[in-house]
Amino acid sequence: NQRLQEMLRTMCRARGARLCPIDERYCIDNGAMIAQAGWEMLRVGQVTALGDSGVTQRYRTDEVEVTWRD
């Protein structure tokens, strides 16, 4: 989605990061992206108890606390 990429690019620039979108033919499985983010969180010991977890459909990408990146 071009509009989403524009928004993400803006957020990245504001934070000194660079957006690296993947080729459209690979943008079919959000589950794989969620799994990767989960792996990165687990790798650094960031674990959420099942009872404390939930689903938020309108979660904004600029509200995500990234703790697994140097």
Collapse the DSSP code of 37 into the 3-class scheme (helix H, G, I; strand E, B; otherwise coil) and give the result.
Answer: helix
Rounded to whole angstroms, the Cα distance separating 46 from 67 reads: 8
26 part of a folded domain: yes
24 part of a folded domain: yes
Pair 8, 19: CB distance under 8 Å: yes
Nearest to 66 by CA among 17, 6, 9: 17
Give the number of domains in the chain.
Answer: 1
pLDDT in tens, 19-60: 998 887 777 767 777 888 889 889 999 899 999 988 877 777
62 part of a folded domain: no
8 part of a folded domain: yes
37 part of a folded domain: yes
Residue type at position 57: Q
- pLDDT for position 8: 92
Residue 64 has pLDDT above 90, yes or no: no
57 part of a folded domain: no
Range of the domain at 40: 2-45
56 part of a folded domain: no
- pLDDT for position 15: 94
Name which residue leads in pLDDT, 43 or 70: 43
Rounded to whole angstroms, the Cα distance separating 54 from 64 reads: 14
